[in-house]
Structure 1
């Protein structure tokens, strides 16, 4: 890989935030508008979680999870409808990645320092011209601390649970709003309290509260932070 691809000459916009803050949808739309590459860092952790599940790996066994991280091939491709599909060891696991089980596994795996270290270079390799929009929980603080543009999206836990509820019900997944709210609050606490790369805004990040805002409105606010093109 050409060294200029990972240099600060390639602009990066990081969009971090808790589960359900809208960062995935917003990041993808912003990347499309800019014509930049897109990194869904959470999908990498979810993919490892799915692979571990397929291999019956005990998530409490950190050394086994680390081995699984190195052994798992993760790929991305665009579907004809423009949707980003995620391949785990050559198998399209996109729908499985979106389950609450995969999300909980990703959160547990993300607390293992060796896993975060192993995935760091994989994530940084996405920094390719003409630019990158990276969404996750530690994009602005750990993976791309030198990014010129950083955003931290938030929303009330209640609104985030409602958004997730609607998403899952549309997919025919049976869940309860109260259960989702409990899971989101538990995940927030886990992500914020972990020893390695806890969920927090970068000091130079612009915070945007998406509670009550439409997708287009948030996208416009994010794009307004970048220099005119």
Structure 2
């Protein structure tokens, strides 16, 4: 596989994008870029600074001001840093998940982070995942996939992930949050969540991450 290739993976919350993208990048020897984590980082910082989530100007200023970086650790995991502080775990807190869609629909924030994401992908050899990679960030990506699953399956996965990370959550609340996030992400005016016209749609319901990765690998290797 040509190392200059860019692979875009999009999909709704809880579809397994991060796990699949990370595994796929590892298999290919590519760099994994989690764009959702970048929006979470801005959200985390805005919450830390006690900024009202309706104050779009102040949140955009946060995105402009913070020194946001992604670093790969010895285990191949991507770590998220704000001003040299590792916030990889903090950005997964439920309160960040609840507010990240509000932050990600702010045009100024999207412009700032899209520019950074394109810079990260400029050399190719990346697997980038998010919600608008194939449609907005990397519209010329050689391979595009849109991962989805039933809302019940996505809620179950997200609930398990949060509980494993030490955040006590209830399934009913998680499914409500996912439905609301789907609505916000799909209906925002700028860069809404939707498959790119040339993306391959993969329903991950009932499939393991390994099965999905093998499916994508066969499509990537097949040209």
Normalised to the residue count of structure 2, the TM-score between the two structures is 0.94
* Range that drifts further, 107-116 or 51-60: 51-60
C-alpha distance after superposition, 1:139-174 (max 9, x if no partner): 000000011110000000000110111112222211
Range that drifts further, 147-156 or 94-103? 94-103
Kindly indicate whether the alpha-carbon contact (under 8 Å) linking 2:94 and 2:167 is maintained by their aligned counterparts in 1: no
Aligned match for 2:149, one of 150, 155, 159: 155
Q: Structure 1 residue 65 and structure 2 residue 50: aligned?
A: no
**Which residue is 1:47 aligned to?**
41
Does 2:99 match 1:105?
Answer: yes
Residue 190 of structure 2 aligns with which residue? Answer: 196
Q: Deviations over 1:98-149 (max 9, x none)?
A: 1221122221111111111111110001114451111000000000001111
2:166 and 2:199 map into 1 onto residues whose CA distance is: 36
Aligned residue-pair number: 221
Contact persistence 1:14–1:133 (CA under 8 A): yes
State yes or no: 1:143 paired with 2:121: no
Stretches of 4+ aligned residues off by more than 3 angstroms: 79-82
Partner of 1:6: none
- The CA deviation at 1:78 is 2.7
**Which one of the candidate residues 128, 143, 168 is aligned to 1:174?**
168
Deviation of the 1:10 alpha carbon:
3.0
CA contact (8 A) 1:10 1:127 kept: no
Report the CA distance between 1:83 and its aligned residue: 2.5
Question: Partner residue of 2:121?
Answer: 127
Secondary structure at the aligned position of 1:125 is classed as helix
Deviation by residue 1:153-204 (Cα, 9 ceiling, x = unmatched): 0000000110111112222211100110000001001100101000000000
Q: Which of 24, 28, 41 pairs up with 1:30? A: 24
**TM-score scaled by length of structure 1:** 0.92
Structure 2 partner of 1:211: 205
C-alpha separation in 1, matches of 2:7 and 2:124: 12
1:80, CA displacement in angstroms?
Answer: 3.6
CA 228–203 in structure 1, closer or farther in 2 if over 3 Å, else same:
closer
Match of 1:3 in 2: none
Unmatched segments (≥5 aa) in structure 1 = 1-8
Structure 2: 5+ residue stretches without partners:
none
Q: CA deviation at 1:58?
A: 1.6
State whether residues 155 and 178 of structure 2, in contact with CA within 8 Å, keep that contact through their aligned partners in structure 1.
Answer: yes
Give the Cα separation in 1 of the matches to 2:98 and 2:190. Answer: 17
